[in-house]
Amino acid sequence: MSVEEKIQAALDEKEKGNDAFKKKNLPEATAAYREGLCYLEHSEQWTEQQQIQKQSVEVSLRLNLSNCYLKTGEYAQAIDEASAAIKLDEKNSKAWYRRGVARAAFGFLDEARCDLASAARLDPRNVEIRNELKKCKEKLEEVRRKEKSTFGAMFTKCALYDG
């Protein structure tokens, strides 16, 4: 298979995945996106133009996979795929957003806030990103208030026993 054929096969798998995703068939979509990535893994020498095209297709496949994993609650995998997309294109706001959403769902609120802030810097007009960042900050404040209340009461009780 030539490099061009591999890129086209990856794009065909992406299209299959998109069709399955639209039909809410997430296992089929995930399998198609994974298959698309397989076509991009091993190849002879890529020209500079082919490398750029390969990277673009790979980022798209990884973002789509990340979205599938978010929808199925597989947050660790969603984080992994979004992280791989960020490694390929650190200016991709969607990758930062998806990783932030997955981290927030996993309970990694500090990391999620950082990711969502990065997404917001890259795409300042995106309302969805802004709303998610706001929700994350609110959750983080709530957690910190609860921790302060819990640990503050604990330390107050300890002080009573020391005295």
CATH of the domain at 50: 1.25.40.10
Together in a domain, 55 and 111: no
pLDDT in tens, the chain (163 residues): 888 999 999 999 999 999 999 999 999 999 999 999 999 987 678 899 999 999 999 999 999 999 999 999 999 999 999 999 999 999 999 999 999 999 999 999 999 999 999 999 999 999 999 999 999 999 999 988 887 777 665 555 545 555 4
- Asked, for residue 79, whether it belongs to a domain, the answer is no
User: With contact defined as beta carbons under 8 Å apart, do 61 and 38 qualify?
Assistant: no
Our count of domains for the chain comes to 2
User: With contact defined as beta carbons under 8 Å apart, do 121 and 96 qualify?
Assistant: no
- Asked, for residue 15, whether it belongs to a domain, the answer is yes
Using the CB atoms, write b or e for 59-88: b if 16+ within 10 Å. Answer: bbbbbbbbbbbbeeebbebbbbbbbbbbee
- Asked, for residue 88, whether it belongs to a domain, the answer is no
* Intra-chain end-to-end CA distance of the chain, in Å: 79
